[in-house]
Amino acid sequence: MTKSLQAPHPLTLIPGPVEFTDEVLQAMATPSESHVSPQFISVFGDALALLRQLFFNTDKTAQPFAIAGGGTLGWDVVASNLIEPGEDALVLHTGYFADSFADCITAYGGKPTQLKAPIGQRPSLQAIEEELKKKSYKVVTITHVDTSTGVLSDIKSVAAIVRKVSPATLVVVDGVCSVGVEEIRFDEWDIDFVLTAPQKAIGVPAGLSIFIASGRALDVFKSRKSPVTSYYASLAKWLPIVQAYEAKKPAYFSTPPVQNIHALLASLKQILAVPLEDRFAAHIRTSDHVKSTIEAYGLSQVASQDGARAHGMTAVFLPDGVTLAELLPRISKRGIVLAGGLHKEIAAKYFRIGHMGVSVTDEDRGDFEKALAAIKESLVEVGYKI
């Protein structure tokens, strides 16, 4: 590990934004470039090509996108392009983000049906299969990792069930807290759409909406009977743009965020310099270590099912009698920034640790030894016995 060029700062170990590498931050400070200069076209084109690798995608009928916006914008893309007004969407619920995705689908005239599980769990494959047989769903949406609960969904199995029971239904994955940390084999698992954001396991500052659409999804979009119900989120506007940039040709719809795209390329190069399998394994190791340590402290996780827990974050219930207002500032004083709860029904009862990106892959940083020690010391300070 070379000494970081970054000013000393508290360690941000939340489920995004994560810590960034020096190279990524330097790319954010790239001097001005025209968005249609050969230099930038090459950078954007390379970033799109590397995004394919991140998704194990080689099928060229699929198309990756990176546009200025929040991860949330990916929901608008799905709701306004892949679903026509009045059509049904099955929303698999594993926390806060499914409610929001359902809201978004409603805003564009789609009809979401939520299949819920108790907090901390995920709907069973059997329940999903039964629900799929009831109606003709245009899309099924799955939150791969629900950042509000840390529940991990089994997108491979869900996609297989959809293909078996309702083959024309599009499989849409919200991969905001999963892409870059959880395995996603886009082609092989026959997924139709994954949306994500850069500030999680992709290791790039927030400001991009990143997504990939399958050939099947693009065909569904192209054969819509009604017009697309958005403008900035319209695939009709963006598809020719990203196709042009990937072919290293200029195109214009809305000025791309030049510096953020430079940062995306810088991070993708770092991520793909080692096999993705090794990256996933490193995140599993860190996740197991964080989770077992937390359990050794006597604390329990919001995600309650074995095998259904995210590898990029851990949601931890507070001990009885300890509040977030007591605990988090003490951890913060020790230089570690963690996150409070997000799921409305239990928000005050738990905190969240993010373990993604360079904090995981550069073990010499010792970020989680520091974080776990800070948590332990702070718990002891508020009177909890470990």
Where on the chain is the footprint of its own copies (CB under 8 A)?
6-7, 9-10, 12, 14, 16-20, 25-26, 28-37, 67-73, 75-76, 79-80, 103-104, 107-108, 197, 199, 205-209, 227-234, 252-260, 337, 339, 342
Q: What is the DSSP letter of 363?
A: G
- Which class for 329: exposed (0-12), middle (13-18), buried (19 or more C-beta within 10 A)? exposed
- Min dist CB 246 to its own copies, Å, is 19
Measured from the CB atom, the residue of 26 and 304 that comes closer to its own copies is 26
Indicate the residue among 81 and 121 with the shorter CB distance to its own copies.
81
Shortest distance, position 195 Cβ to its own copies, whole Å: 12
**∠ CA 293-294-299, rounded to 5°:** 145
Q: Say how far apart CA 131 and CA 123 lie, in whole Å.
A: 11
Nearest approach, Cβ of residue 15 and its own copies (Å): 10
Q: Which is nearer to its own copies, 115 or 356 (CB)?
A: 356
| Minimal distance, residue 129 CB to its own copies, in Å | 29
CB atoms within 10 A of CB 99: 17
DSSP tag of 196 = E
Nearer Cβ to its own copies, position 216 or 352?
A: 352
C-alpha to C-alpha distance for 214 and 219, rounded to whole angstroms = 9
Q: What is the dihedral of CA 108, 110, 116, 122, to 10 degrees?
A: -80
Closer residue to its own copies in complex, CB, 168/231 = 231
Type of residue numbered 338: L
Phi–psi pair at 153, nearest 5 degrees: -95, 155
Instruction: Please tell me the distance from the alpha carbon of residue 300 to that of residue 314, in angstroms, as a whole number.
Output: 10
Enclosing H/E stretch for 165: helix 155-165
Of 20 and 221, CB closest to its own copies:
20
Distance of closest approach, residue 200 Cβ to its own copies, in angstroms: 9
Q: Shortest distance, CB of residue 207 to its own copies, whole angstroms?
A: 3
> How many C-beta atoms lie closer than 10 Å to residue 221's C-beta?
21
